[in-house]
């Protein structure tokens, strides 16, 4: 401990001295020849001495801590040879690393987490000692490793941000970078670690657009006032037009127009803007539309950064066959055997949020009975029974003494429901398979600890609503019969089983030939069909949790912690 304290103190003194050494960073185009350099043996010896305590002194700042043993293993693999210094000269790749770290904000990451300013200060030293060179080598490797990890897997631990978020698929691909044969290859490998999904790449471009526009132009705001409509004139119309041009909804044109006149170009651009912000697309600038237009560019940049991080939590490669339940769009996309079907869904209400997670669908049940989950029984059924003891009988429920096999069936009217507290409720409630069953005619099972599944519903009218967060957590499908047909397509045996179950109206389990991956995902910004950013309602307030965790503005030119 005394040894580490002494070394850490030395590091602090060194950094303090470096801050006053020079404000000029060496050019990335000029090779840094070290005047009267230490020998290779001195540098290697210093690297061996510095690596362990430097790893502890320069652990990642905030977020998810990088397992530093990977850096240590990389040096052990090389016999503690320096990575960035060859024949007493700094490899040019270290300057490319600095440039790469400076561009971390284009991914919604913060360069301060990768010791960027510290690296620049070390590089500015004109006559570094063997210890300073060793420190520079180790810090550069830590920065490289930490950035590689964050670019591949995300900076933050999702479950620490949101307990209901259980979709995290960490990859170990980034670790391969540490064992490549040259620092140039290491730095060149970095871009391959970012998610390769088209949505990620489009959002990244839009993040850069919002960052640069915020810095160069600032926000064009529309003054608050009466709604603006087709045919209106005045300075507020000119502000509206300029804002729509700035946001990309109107393409800049060199042709002359009356800037103050609300023409058809503005009306059509407003409809596009409203549609991609989940507003009523009437082509008029009412109060809500103007509020959305006036959301600062910096705020939009943050929102995009949160969603880039969410993409990094997903697997680097998605399966060709999968179910993709887009919670914020209330839509299920089914990719199966080269076909792509989409249908509306109903998801959990805000007080009963649908979890974000991954599962594997293994079977479906036709004409299912419904065993009411205990939470729903306590929160929903018990209050209804206390008002109307006949509720179970009137709605096709059966009551059992417990959840055990062979539990005794009971008469609901024999229970004094008003005397039961929710925490003391222990009965099992089952709803028989019929047209009024809460699960409808189908349920599709991907076993998980949240007891969430896809199912039919008798409440078809809810699919006419634009915002469809009405369930107790499970996913209700608009067209479950079509989904069932897709699951058995091309399989005569299972097609016959499904047909027989439909005809008999009996409860039947039909296993799937192959497991089908199911993703329940949550994005508040996605590219629309035209490649424009679509900003969705944060129905579960998960962006607020992201902001609290990430705690920085990704558009600033100066680093902030």
Q: Are 273 and 293 in contact (CB under 8 A)?
A: yes
Q: Strand pairing of 357-366 and 409-410?
A: unpaired
DSSP 123-174: HT-SS--HHHHHHHHHHHHHHHHHHHHHHHH-SS-HHHH-TTB------SHH
Q: Are 57 and 7 in contact (CB under 8 A)?
A: yes
Name every residue whose Cβ is closer than 8 Å to that of residue 467 and which is 6 or more positions away in sequence: 330, 537, 539
User: What is the gyration radius of the CA atoms in the chain, in angstroms?
Assistant: 30
Question: What percent of the residues of the chain are helix, what percent strand, and what percent coil, each to the nearest 5?
Answer: 45, 15, 40
Which two tokens mark 69?
Answer: 């043993």
Q: Which residues are catalytic?
A: 455, 474
User: d(Cα 324, Cα 421) in Å, to the nearest integer?
Assistant: 39
DSSP 232-261: -BSHHHHHHHHHHHHHTSS----S---TTB
Q: Strand pairing of 475-477 and 469-471?
A: unpaired
User: d(Cα 304, Cα 328) in Å, to the nearest integer?
Assistant: 15
Which two tokens mark 530?
Answer: 């035209």
**For residue 547, which of 218, 108, 143 has the smallest C-alpha distance?**
108
């Amino acid at each position: 401990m005394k040894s580490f304290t002494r070394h850490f103190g030395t590091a602090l003194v060194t950094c303090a001295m470096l801050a006053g050494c020079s404000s000029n960073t060496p050019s990335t185009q000029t090779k840094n020849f070290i005047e009267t350099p230490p020998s290779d043996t001195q540098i290697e010896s210093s690297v061996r001495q510095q690596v362990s305590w430097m790893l502890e002194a320069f652990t990642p700042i905030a977020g998810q801590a990088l397992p530093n043993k990977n850096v240590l293993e990389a040096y052990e693999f090389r016999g503690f040879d320096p990575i960035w210094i060859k024949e007493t000269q700094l490899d040019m790749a270290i300057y490319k690393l600095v440039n790469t770290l400076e561009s971390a904000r284009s991914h919604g990451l913060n360069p301060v987490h990768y010791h960027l300013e510290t690296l620049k200060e070390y590089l500015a030293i004109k006559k570094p000692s063997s210890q300073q060179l060793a420190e520079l080598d180790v810090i550069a490797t830590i920065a490289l490793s930490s950035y590689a990890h964050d670019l591949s897997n995300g900076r933050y631990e999702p479950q620490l941000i949101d307990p209901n978020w259980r979709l995290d698929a960490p990859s170990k691909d980034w670790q391969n970078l540490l064992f490549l044969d040259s620092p140039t290859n290491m730095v060149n490998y970095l871009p391959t670690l970012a998610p390769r999904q088209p949505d990620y790449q489009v959002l990244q471009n839009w993040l850069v657009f919002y960052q640069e526009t915020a810095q160069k132009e600032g926000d064009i705001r529309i003054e608050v006032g009466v709604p603006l409509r087709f045919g209106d004139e005045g300075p507020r119309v000119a502000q509206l037009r300029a804002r729509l041009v700035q946001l990309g909804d109107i393409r800049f044109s060199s042709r002359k127009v009356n800037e103050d006149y609300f023409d058809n170009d503005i009306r059509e651009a407003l409809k596009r803007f409203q549609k991609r912000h989940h507003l009523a697309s009437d082509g008029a600038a009412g109060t809500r539309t103007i509020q959305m237009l006036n959301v600062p560019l910096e705020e939009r940049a943050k929102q995009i950064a949160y969603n880039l991080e969410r993409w990094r939590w997903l697997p680097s490669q998605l399966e060709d066959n999968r179910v993709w339940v887009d919670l914020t769009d209330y839509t299920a996309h089914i990719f199966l055997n080269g076909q792509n079907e989409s249908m509306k869904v109903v998801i959990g209400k805000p007080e009963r949020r649908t979890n974000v997670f991954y599962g594997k669908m293994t079977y479906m049940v036709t004409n299912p009975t419904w065993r009411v989950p205990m939470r729903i029984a306590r929160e929903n059924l018990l209050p209804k029974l206390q008002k109307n003891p006949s509720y179970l009988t009137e709605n096709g429920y059966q009551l059992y003494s417990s959840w055990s096999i062979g539990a005794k069936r009971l008469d609901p009217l024999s229970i004094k429901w008003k005397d039961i507290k929710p925490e003391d409720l222990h009965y099992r409630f089952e709803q028989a398979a019929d047209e009024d069953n809460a699960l409808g005619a189908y349920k599709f099972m991907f076993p998980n600890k949240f007891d969430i599944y896809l199912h039919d519903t008798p409440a078809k009218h809810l699919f006419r609503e634009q915002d469809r967060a009405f369930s107790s957590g499970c996913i209700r499908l608009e067209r479950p019969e079509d989904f069932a047909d897709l699951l058995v397509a091309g399989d005569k045996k299972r097609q016959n089983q499904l047909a027989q179950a439909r005809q008999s109206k009996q409860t039947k389990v039909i296993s799937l030939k192959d497991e089908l991956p199911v993703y329940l995902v949550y994005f508040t910004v996605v590219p629309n069909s035209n490649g424009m950013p679509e900003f969705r309602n944060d129905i579960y307030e998960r962006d607020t949790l992201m902001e609290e965790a990430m705690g920085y503005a990704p558009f600033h030119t100066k680093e902030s912690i």
